[in-house]
């Protein structure tokens, strides 16, 4: 699956970090809902936050398929960090694909070198899947835009070093949105309390609040009024990141289940000797392989410069539905133990659920797929 010796070495490095640095702390950290800042700094120093970006800006110059397999490995060890890394790459993608050359030179080395962690401010209380419902406003006033509004469900919220903000610069429904980069600490920007979520406790999620925040014109990404195109094009790549995260969650659940099936003895023999459980494990393994194949197919289209929007939605739909099914079956394999916090599969079950919701719900993915088929 990996196209070069360098890519194989990157994946080996990722597995080493995941095994030695991430996995040992995940249970305690998730119970305490502690933001894993040190983990992101480690990934940044190791060059794992910059993989699919151009080397001239400090990127790793790797194909997207390599980046996604790295995300999968991270997520298998610690799903919250996998999600946060995917979100950071989404923000970097917006700058790399849409900003001026001057802006790229100024911002990308910070974004890709691990110095800064990003957050993506698109959703609002009344605008989740419906991006056209965004109400946050950015009114030009001299050399700055005055921004007011509330962003909702922002991963890395209050913990990020910069925010990619989408706000309305005109009432035009198609060309009314614009994109900005906003450093943390900008006057007029604040945060709500962290959400108390079902899973992904270390993926700190908050509202981001703007109250007459002044954003210099120089921090406008691309042209005014192109925010809708910027947001939607970036989400295609972001959905592949979530597909990789979901595949990592499912792979971890499968691995735990296989180990448990070998060790757990009932009626004088390992429970893995029972054909009914063997069939469950086989179906789980098939689901993981389908998920991985789906996101890799879409990534290869992207790497080749070919359209991949439908395939990204298929990958996101396939992998996240599979993650929910595989983690549900993992709890069943563990029986009563799987329902307790002493074992990891219940956490993976809770973490998997939101993958069907963010980056566009799976119902939205089905709409995207069908619309593309019928056009």
Name the active-site residue from 30, 72, 73, 359. Answer: 359
Q: State residue 4's pLDDT score.
A: 85
85 and 194 co-located in one domain: no
Q: Tokens at residue 117, please?
A: 């962690």
Each residue's pLDDT tens digit, 186-229: 999 999 999 999 999 999 999 999 999 999 999 999 999 999 99
CATH number at residue 12: 1.10.540.10
* C-beta of residue 80 within 8 angstroms of C-beta of residue 202: yes
CATH number at residue 207: 2.40.110.10
Enter the pTM of the model. 0.96
Q: SS3 for the chain, per residue? A: CCCCHHHHHHHHHHHHHHHHHHHHHHHHHHHHCCCCHHHHHHHHHCCCCCCCCCHHHCCCCCCHHHHHHHHHHHHHHCHHHHHHHHHHHHHHHHHHHHCCHHHHHHHHHHHHCCCCCEEEECCECCECCCHHHCCCEEEEECCEEEEEEEEEEEECCCCCCEEEEEEECCCCCCCCEEEEEEECCCCCEEECCCCCCCCCCCCCEEEEEEEEEEEEHHHEECCCCCHHHHHHHHHHHHHHHHHHHHHHHHHHHHHHHHHHHHHCEECCEEHHHCHHHHHHHHHHHHHHHHHHHHHHHHHHHHHCCCCCHHHHHHHHHHHHHHHHHHHHHHHHHHHHHHHCCCCCHHHHHHHHHHHHCCCCCHHHHHHHHHHHHHC
Q: Which domain holds residue 168?
A: 119-225
- State how beta strands 118-121 and 162-168 pair: parallel
295 and 363 co-located in one domain: yes
282 and 204 co-located in one domain: no
353 and 302 co-located in one domain: yes
* C-beta of residue 205 within 8 angstroms of C-beta of residue 47: no
Q: State residue 1's pLDDT score.
A: 59
103 and 157 co-located in one domain: no
Each residue's pLDDT tens digit, 293-305: 999 999 999 999 9
Cβ-based neighbours of 110, under 8 Å, separated by 6 or more: 116, 161, 162
Share of the chain above pLDDT 70, in %: 99
State which of 183, 210, 225 marks the end of a domain.
Answer: 225
Question: Is residue 21 flagged as an active site residue?
Answer: no
Mean pLDDT of 154-166: 97
253 and 324 co-located in one domain: yes
CATH number at residue 272: 1.20.140.10
Q: State residue 128's pLDDT score.
A: 83
- State the residue for tokens 């094009």: 233
* C-beta of residue 160 within 8 angstroms of C-beta of residue 117: yes
Total domains, the chain: 3
**What end-to-end distance do the CA atoms of the chain give, in Å?**
33
State which of 163, 195, 225 marks the end of a domain.
Answer: 225
Each residue's pLDDT tens digit, 264-294: 999 999 999 999 999 999 999 999 999 999 9
369 and 232 co-located in one domain: yes
Q: State residue 178's pLDDT score.
A: 98
**In this model, does residue 40 exceed pLDDT 70?**
yes
- The C-alpha atoms of residue 157 and residue 262 are separated, in whole angstroms, by 41
199 and 309 co-located in one domain: no
Q: State residue 76's pLDDT score.
A: 99
33 and 78 co-located in one domain: yes
State which of 225, 240, 272 marks the end of a domain.
Answer: 225
Question: In the beta sheet, which residues pair with residue 148?
Answer: 137
**In this model, does residue 257 exceed pLDDT 90?**
yes
Q: State residue 233's pLDDT score.
A: 85
**In this model, does residue 22 exceed pLDDT 70?**
yes
* C-beta of residue 66 within 8 angstroms of C-beta of residue 2: yes
* C-beta of residue 156 within 8 angstroms of C-beta of residue 118: yes
| Rounded alpha-carbon distances, angstroms, from residue 25 to 17, 38, 86 | 12, 11, 20
- State the residue for tokens 């040992």: 24
**In this model, does residue 344 exceed pLDDT 80?**
yes
- The C-alpha atoms of residue 361 and residue 365 are separated, in whole angstroms, by 6
Each residue's pLDDT tens digit, 88-129: 999 999 999 999 999 999 999 999 988 899 999 999 999 888
Higher pLDDT, 101 or 130: 101
Burial class (CB in 10 A: 0-12, 13-18, 19+), 363: exposed
239 and 277 co-located in one domain: yes
**In this model, does residue 372 exceed pLDDT 70?**
yes
Q: State residue 59's pLDDT score.
A: 96
134 and 12 co-located in one domain: no
144 and 191 co-located in one domain: yes
**In this model, does residue 174 exceed pLDDT 90?**
no
């Amino acid at each position: 699956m990996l196209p070069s010796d360098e890519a194989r070495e990157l994946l080996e490095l990722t597995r080493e970090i995941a095994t030695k640095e991430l996995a040992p702390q995940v249970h305690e950290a998730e119970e305490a809902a502690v933001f894993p800042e040190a983990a992101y700094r480690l990934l940044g120093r190791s060059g794992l936050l910059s993989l699919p970006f151009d080397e001239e800006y400090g990127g790793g110059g790797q194909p997207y398929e390599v980046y996604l397999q790295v995300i999968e490995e991270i997520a298998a060890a610690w799903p919250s960090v996998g999600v946060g890394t995917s979100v950071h790459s989404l923000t970097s993608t917006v700058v790399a694909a849409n900003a001026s050359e001057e802006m790229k030179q100024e911002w990308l080395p910070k974004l890709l070198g691990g110095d800064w962690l990003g957050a993506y401010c698109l959703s609002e209380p009344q605008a989740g899947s419906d991006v056209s419902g965004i109400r946050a406003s950015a009114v030009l006033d001299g050399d700055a835009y005055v921004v007011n509004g509330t962003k909702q469900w922002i991963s890395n919220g209050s913990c990020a070093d910069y925010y990619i903000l989408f706000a309305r610069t005109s009432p035009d429904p198609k060309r009314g949105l614009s994109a900005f980069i906003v450093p943390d600490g900008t006057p007029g920007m604040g945060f709500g309390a962290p959400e108390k979520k079902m899973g992904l406790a270390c993926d700190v999620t908050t509202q981001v609040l703007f109250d007459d925040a002044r954003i210099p014109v120089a921090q406008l990404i691309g042209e005014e009024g192109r925010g809708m195109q910027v947001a939607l094009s970036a989400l295609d790549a972001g959905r592949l990141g979530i597909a990789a995260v979901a595949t990592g969650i499912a792979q971890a659940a499968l691995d735990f289940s296989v180990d448990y099936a070998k060790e757990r003895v009932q009626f004088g023999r390992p429970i893995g000797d029972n054909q009914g459980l063997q069939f469950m494990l086989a179906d789980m393994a098939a689901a993981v392989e389908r998920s991985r194949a789906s996101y890799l197919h879409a990534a290869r289209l992207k790497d080749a410069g070919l359209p991949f929007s439908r395939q990204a939605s298929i990958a996101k739909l396939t992998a996240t539905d599979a993650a929910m099914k595989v983690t549900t079956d993992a709890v069943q394999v563990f029986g009563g133990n799987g329902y307790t916090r002493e074992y990891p599969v219940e956490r993976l079950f809770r973490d998997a659920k939101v993958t069907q919701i963010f980056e566009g719900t799976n119902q939205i993915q089905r709409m995207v797929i069908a619309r593309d088929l019928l056009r």
